[in-house]
Amino acid sequence: MKNLKLVAAVVAGAMMLASTSAMAVTIGFSQVGDEGDWRPAFSKDMQDSAVEYGIDLKFADAQGKQEEQLRAVRAFIAQGVDAIIIAPVVVTGWDQVLQEAKKASIPVFLADRDVEVEDNSLYVTRISADFNLEGKLAAAWLAAESKGSCKVVELQGTVGSAAAIERQKGFQAVLDQFPAMEIVRSQSGDFTTEGGKQVMEAFIKATNNLEGICASFAHNDNMQLGAIQAMKEAGLNPGTDVLMVSVDYVPAMIKALEAGEANASVELRSAIGKFIYPVVLDYLEAPKDLPKWIVIPGDLHTAK
Amino acid sequence: MNTQQMPGSQNQSSFAATLRAALVHNAVWPISVLVLILVVNAIVAPAFFSIRIQDGRLFGSMIDVLYRGTAPAMIALGMAVVIGTKGIDLSVGSIVAVVGSVIAWRIKEGDPHLVILFTALAVGIVCGMWNGLLVAVLDIQPIIATLILMVAGRGIGLMVNLIYGGTDPSFESELLQGLSVGNIGLIPTRLILFVVIFAGLWLLLRRTALGLFIESVGGNPAAAQLAGIPSRLIKFSAYTISGFMTGWAGIILTADVHTSDPVKVAMFSELDAILAVVIGGGSLMGGRIYLGMTLLGALVIQTMVTSILMSGMPPEYNLIIKALLVLIILLLQSNNFRAAVIALLGRRK
Amino acid sequence: MAEPTSYRVEMRGVSKTFPGVRALDSVDLHLREGEVHALLGENGAGKSTLIKILTGALERDEGSVLLDGKPVEVHTTAEAQALGISTVYQEVNLIPTLSVTKNLTLGRQPTRYGLISWRKARMMAEERLKRLRLDIDPERPLGYYSVAIQQLVAIARALEDDTRVLVLDEPTASLDAEETELLFQIVRDLKAKGIAVVFITHFIDQVYQIADRISVLRNGRLVGTASTAELPRLKLISLMIGRELEKLGNRPVRAADDTIGAPALEAENLGRKRVMSPFDLTVHAGEVVGLAGLLGSGRTQTAKLIFGAIKPDSGTMKIASKPVGHFSPRGSLQQGLAFCPEDRKADGLIGELTVRENIILSLQAKRGWHHQLSRKDQDRLADDMIKALAIATPDAEKPVGQLSGGNQQKVVLARSLVSQPTALLLDEPTRGIDVGAHAEIVALIRRLCTEGLALLVASSEFDELVAVSDRIAVLRDRNKVAEIAGDEITRENIINAIAHR
């Protein structure tokens, strides 16, 4: 039954797209792939809001491969789209294809991740969340909540990933302002629930049931959810005994916040079409120099 | 196993001879490394050894090792069986992903949870049979045959998640979580489950002739065929057993965090499983299945992981430390390396 | 041909010793210009050692080699090539996935500006093919062509303009009759060009078809060189086997109450193309049938066809009067037929497993995986066999790979005996076994026979066959050529049957 409905929806959507394409602005969007919870939601929102804005969106999934992505961008150029949005797979290797886009007078916007190019004018702007800011927001909330005195355990994301590095830096930058706040333990939970659970289990044993620990900061919600499970299984009360703050604001975390098992989560918006499309459409109407990075604010949500 | 005489062995003391005899046994090296890790732990983090009863269950890092080691050990045991046929199963991590996504999906669909338990096992078994079909019937090389499911499996998991939207793959299940994170008396349920499955696997391999047949097929396929053993069927069954064991691991891992994460769950678990088999003295050339030694290998790896987590070392060092420890074990197991060391020591005397 | 004053190749007093083995003992080999010279001998006679010394793959210990009258020292195969001595080995040493052109030019690709010129390479390949009058497309992958063509391509690769000596090591082993004739035509061409061709083979008929002269090696010594016309088959075979015909032992006297029972094995028109010509063979309960023939005559193939290890493409089989439907080792075993293979390393033992496990393997396979023999039964069977066959092992739990050769052979034999067969195929049951054990096994075969077992024994040791057999099937060049029974069973008659055409 469900599948039938799905097919019907897809067909209806395709027909709508076909009917609007005659006059609408055409934008090519090259997405990284569909890993994790966040990215598929991001893709879906980009497609849904394109309909709202009356944009004819050409969506290409690069399946995590840059060569796939380069091919997609060249196809967009060949089709003569009005603008191209890229969520880059990697940061380097973009100069050539961006030159081609520039030659074809097609403006390029970056979503989510950054690129490194010699000539910054090759893309208009990057519109994305700021991992560093997310770390700062989490730390600022924690400083307020603990009155500037708190021993923190940290669940890091995958070692070496941009999100893990920047969230750690932002968090630490704020902590440095408060002499009584420090990270006492830090380990990688690989952004997974299971990893977060296993790391928290070890922390619990290593710190004699989180004695003297006032907060757990996780680089994403999945790990924090795992940490909550580990604490509950050890007879601790997450959210009460220990402050729980993390990043993402996924549905399961919303439930945890409602249940009082977590205290705060910084939203990594997946519904960011409404932030991206206006910038692109305004630029197409009246091209002007934009700052090279437009930050999408990540709101901090608390239990209340 | 190997009784080759080492150079210069005649003029050594009888103590050295006894020692060398003891060193001949496979178990010595993984056990000594295990002891070494534990000794380091005792110095760095004495809390590692404290075990107490909390909320009616055993609680402590040593328990964590067993607890966290359960799923990897199940995968490793399946791997040991496949490696016994001179094969390899790279798809185990992906099978865990598929099993997990099917569990989340069927729970959303409202199936009775006991039915889901069997569905999940069936999914694991079918995945194993698929590998078996490719290897045993179509004669595709095991590394390639299982690579197919390794690549496809996580994608299949994502597609299954999409069936119900996939935005919130978390679920609650008393039965499955009970199996995974519950406890019976003081003992975690999954440990009891593991003992039962291990005993079952041992009986299947050692109290029927299946183990002997698998080892024969792995040791010398031509001779096994002439001795009247149906090699294809035997290989097929080995991959099916691996699927079954991995299915159980999938159930435990998925119910542990009661969510499905097909992209990242059990990432690289195939490598840890192969490593466990090798640390346990198994040869990738096939011909022998060491269940107990594989279990020991899995235990060494998990002790290593838990120790690193407990140590408070920056996470950037995790992989390096793990690699170094594995290197040490494998060097100790290498006859050539030991002979070289003994020759070097002998010269200095 | 009159005795010429000079030879193309003269190998004089060549000796070679490997640790523990005198592989060649002062061997002379003289090759004339434009002759086909057959080099014959059973396994281990020293043929390949001699050839390897000629082609530079091995260094000789003593002796000298003269090429066109001048002493030469060859240390590598490349040096031999440069002197005009080329070799084509039994297994085609080419790469089937590459094109004929690439195979022919590999390692000596013509270059242009430092890069390979495939145009020139192709011309080079075509020229080489033309030399052998081979009309094939050089751009096709080698594997596309039949084994015979591949064999010829290998010769094309080996042949240079200045080739003086060409060694063909069992070139016809995997060819059928027509393909062999094709090869021989080309060999005759080469001969006409003055090349000395050394032809190593096990096929006696082919020797008489193509060779001008024959040299026979036995146990590292040259036992004779003669022109083909002057060496009758009978003489040739006795040279190869050794010992003089008149010294042969007689058949042992059988017990009077020997009774031969119902047919246990009946093969009718059983065969497979390129492996063994169709043959009929019956073995009765309580009877030992010998399979006699020289190396390469098809003894092992016959046994494997009967056992189902090689699937026949013609004929039928009955085991204990029940037709065999689906040929497979497992099926045969379940119908009561057991097989003890010749090559125990490759086909017999599972080296990692213990003596006990190896011994019970076939019986266990027959019972199926779910009816495991109890450990007690396993131990008893293994211990019984270790005692009965005097297998020298400290205990049944030793990995079989660590036993000596003879004891390994006994373990394989034990495995077939333990499977409780009604008929047993033994392929070279005494190979690599010391004299004492040899006698034991011969006695055991007779004992098993009197217990009602049907036995088919393939062996290259004719004396052994004479000693144990009630009937002997004689094979030559993958054909069954004769059956000898009763008092006719003598060594002379076997040799006559092989030699007779």
Q: Quick check: C372 and B209 CB within 8 A?
A: yes
Spatial strand order of the sheet with C196-200 comes to C85-88, C165-169, C196-200, C36-40, C213-218, C221-227
**Integer Cα distance of C480 and C460 in angstroms:** 15
Q: Tell me which residue in C347, C350, C372 faces B287 most closely, judged by beta carbons.
A: C350
The C-alpha of A238 sits at a distance from chain B's nearest C-alpha, in angstroms, of 16
Task: Give the number of residues written for chain C.
Answer: 501
Q: Do domains A2-129+270-298 and A131-267 have the same CATH topology?
A: yes
pLDDT the model gives residue A218: 96
Q: Which residues in chain A are closer than 8 Å to B64, comparing Cβ atoms?
A: 198, 201-202, 205
Interval C455-486: pLDDT, tens: 999 988 787 888 788 899 999 888 899 898 88
Residue of B5, B226, B240 to mutate for C, most C C-beta atoms under 10 A: B226
Between helix A221-233 and helix A193-206 the angle, nearest 10°, is 50
Q: Which of A21-25, C107-111, C424-428 has the lowest mean pLDDT?
A: A21-25
B89 close to B78: Cβ distance less than 8 angstroms: yes
pLDDT the model gives residue B77: 97
Distance of CA C383 to the CA centre of its chain: 34
Residue span of the structural domain in which C308 resides: 263-499
Q: Quick check: B306 and A194 CB within 8 A?
A: no
Q: Which residues in chain A are closer than 8 Å to B258, comparing Cβ atoms?
A: 229
Q: Which residues in chain B are closer than 8 Å to A201, comparing Cβ atoms?
A: 64, 68
How many C-beta atoms lie closer than 10 Å to residue A158's C-beta?
A: 19
Write down the residue that tokens 């669940």 correspond to. Answer: A155
**Integer Cα distance of B180 and B174 in angstroms:** 10
**Integer Cα distance of B166 and B156 in angstroms:** 13
Whether C360 is in a domain gets the answer yes
Q: Which residues in chain B are closer than 8 Å to C346, comparing Cβ atoms?
A: 220, 222-223
Q: Which residues in chain A are closer than 8 Å to B48, comparing Cβ atoms?
A: 205
Whether B116 is in a domain gets the answer yes
Higher pLDDT, A16 or C278: C278
The CATH number covering residue B102 comes to 1.10.3470
**Total number of domains in chain B:** 1
pLDDT the model gives residue B2: 43
Task: Give the number of residues written for chain B.
Answer: 349
Whether B15 is in a domain gets the answer no
Is there an interface between B and C (3+ Cβ pairs < 8 A)?
Answer: yes
Give just the sign of the alpha carbon dihedral C421, C422, C425, C428: positive
Higher pLDDT, A169 or C2: A169
**Integer Cα distance of B99 and B86 in angstroms:** 26
Residue of chain A nearest B255, judged by CA positions: A194
Mean pLDDT of A85-96: 89
Interval B180-207: pLDDT, tens: 988 888 889 999 999 999 999 999 999 8
Whether B4 is in a domain gets the answer no
Q: Quick check: B228 and C309 CB within 8 A?
A: no
Please provide the average confidence, as pLDDT, over all residues in chain B: 87
* pLDDT above 80: residue C1: no
Q: Quick check: B209 and C415 CB within 8 A?
A: no
Which residues are paired to A43 by β-bridges? Answer: none
Whether B276 is in a domain gets the answer yes
Q: Which residues in chain B are closer than 8 Å to C369, comparing Cβ atoms?
A: 208-210, 213, 234
**Which subunits have 3 or more CB–CB pairs within 8 Å of chain A?**
B
Is there an interface between B and A (3+ Cβ pairs < 8 A)?
Answer: yes
Q: Which residues in chain A are closer than 8 Å to B318, comparing Cβ atoms?
A: 159, 188
Domain range list for chain A: 2-129+270-298, 131-267
Distinct helix (H) and strand (E) counts, chain B: 15, 4
Q: Which helix (H) or strand (E) holds C25?
A: strand C21-31
Under 8 Å CB pairs connecting chains A and B tally to 94
Q: Which CATH number fits domain A2-129+270-298: 3.10.110.10, 1.10.357.10, 2.40.280.10, 3.40.50.2300?
A: 3.40.50.2300
* pLDDT category of residue C246 using cuts at 50, 70 and 90: very low
* pLDDT above 80: residue C264: yes
The stretches of A28-65 forming alpha helices (DSSP H) are: 38-52
**Integer Cα distance of B198 and B84 in angstroms:** 17
The C-alpha of A48 sits at a distance from chain B's nearest C-alpha, in angstroms, of 15
Residue span of the structural domain in which B258 resides: 25-348
**Integer Cα distance of B134 and B142 in angstroms:** 8
A188 close to B317: Cβ distance less than 8 angstroms: no
Q: Burial, B340: exposed, middle or buried (Cβ in 10 Å; 0-12, 13-18, 19+)? A: middle
Residue of chain B nearest C329, judged by CA positions: B228
Classify C54 as helix, strand or coil. Answer: helix
Mean pLDDT of C54-63: 89
Which residues are paired to A1 by β-bridges? Answer: none
Q: Quick check: C352 and B215 CB within 8 A?
A: yes
The C-alpha of C366 sits at a distance from chain B's nearest C-alpha, in angstroms, of 7
Q: Which of B282-286, C393-397, C442-446 has the lowest mean pLDDT?
A: C442-446
Nearest CA among A200, A139, A141, A215 for reference residue A174: A139
Nearest CA among C88, C109, C84 for reference residue C170: C88
Q: Quick check: B309 and A35 CB within 8 A?
A: no
The two most distant CA atoms of chain B are separated, in Å, by 74
Q: Tell me which residue in B50, B163, B265 faces A192 most closely, judged by beta carbons.
A: B265
* ipTM of predicted complex: 0.81
C365 close to B213: Cβ distance less than 8 angstroms: yes
A176 close to A139: Cβ distance less than 8 angstroms: no
Query: CA gyration radius for chain C?
Result: 25
C219 in B contact zone (CB under 8 Å): no
Please provide the average confidence, as pLDDT, over all residues in chain A: 87
Is there an interface between C and A (3+ Cβ pairs < 8 A)?
Answer: no
Interval C182-207: pLDDT, tens: 889 889 988 998 899 999 887 788 88
Q: Tell me which residue in C346, C366, C399 faces B228 most closely, judged by beta carbons.
A: C366
Cα separation values, A196 from A225, C313, C397, Å:
7, 63, 48
Residue of chain C nearest B282, judged by CA positions: C352
* pLDDT above 70: residue C345: yes
Write down the residue that tokens 């705060």 correspond to. Answer: A264
Distance of CA C213 to the CA centre of its chain: 22
C362 close to C424: Cβ distance less than 8 angstroms: no
The C-alpha of B22 sits at a distance from chain C's nearest C-alpha, in angstroms, of 17
Q: Tell me which residue in B163, B170, B314 faces A186 most closely, judged by beta carbons.
A: B314
* pLDDT category of residue C432 using cuts at 50, 70 and 90: low
Cα separation values, C187 from B218, B298, B345, C34, C180, Å:
44, 63, 63, 10, 10
**Total number of domains in chain C:** 1
Residue of chain C nearest B223, judged by CA positions: C347
Q: Read off φ and ψ for residue A291, nearest 5 degrees.
A: -55, 150
Nearest CA among C151, C154, C149, C120 for reference residue C137: C149
C221 close to C44: Cβ distance less than 8 angstroms: no
Label the pairing between strands C454-459 and C288-292: parallel
The C-alpha of C26 sits at a distance from chain B's nearest C-alpha, in angstroms, of 37
Q: Quick check: B181 and A159 CB within 8 A?
A: no
Q: Tell me which residue in B207, B209, B287 faces C364 most closely, judged by beta carbons.
A: B209
The C-alpha of B169 sits at a distance from chain C's nearest C-alpha, in angstroms, of 42
The C-alpha of C266 sits at a distance from chain B's nearest C-alpha, in angstroms, of 20
* pLDDT above 80: residue C5: no
Please provide the average confidence, as pLDDT, over all residues in chain C: 84
* pLDDT above 80: residue A183: yes
The CATH number covering residue C438 comes to 3.40.50.300
Please measure the distance between the N-terminal and C-terminal CA atoms of chain B and give it in whole angstroms: 28
**Which subunits have 3 or more CB–CB pairs within 8 Å of chain B?**
A, C
* pLDDT above 60: residue C148: yes
Q: Does domain A131-267 have CATH number 3.40.50.2300?
A: yes
pLDDT the model gives residue C218: 85
Q: Which helix (H) or strand (E) holds A61?
A: strand A55-61
**Integer Cα distance of C342 and B225 in angstroms:** 15
Query: CA gyration radius for chain A?
Result: 22
C377 in B contact zone (CB under 8 Å): no
**Which subunits have 3 or more CB–CB pairs within 8 Å of chain C?**
B
Q: Which residues in chain A are closer than 8 Å to B257, comparing Cβ atoms?
A: 193-194, 197, 225-226, 229
Residue of B173, B309, B311, B317 to mutate for A, most A C-beta atoms under 10 A: B309
Whether B2 is in a domain gets the answer no
**Integer Cα distance of B161 and B122 in angstroms:** 18
C402 in B contact zone (CB under 8 Å): yes
C310 in B contact zone (CB under 8 Å): no
Higher pLDDT, C160 or B73: B73
Classify C18 as helix, strand or coil. Answer: strand
* pLDDT category of residue B13 using cuts at 50, 70 and 90: low
**Which residues, at least 6 apart from C374, have a Cβ–Cβ distance to it below 8 Å?**
none
Q: Which residues in chain B are closer than 8 Å to C399, comparing Cβ atoms?
A: 1
pLDDT the model gives residue B25: 65
**Integer Cα distance of A59 and A76 in angstroms:** 10
The C-alpha of B216 sits at a distance from chain A's nearest C-alpha, in angstroms, of 39
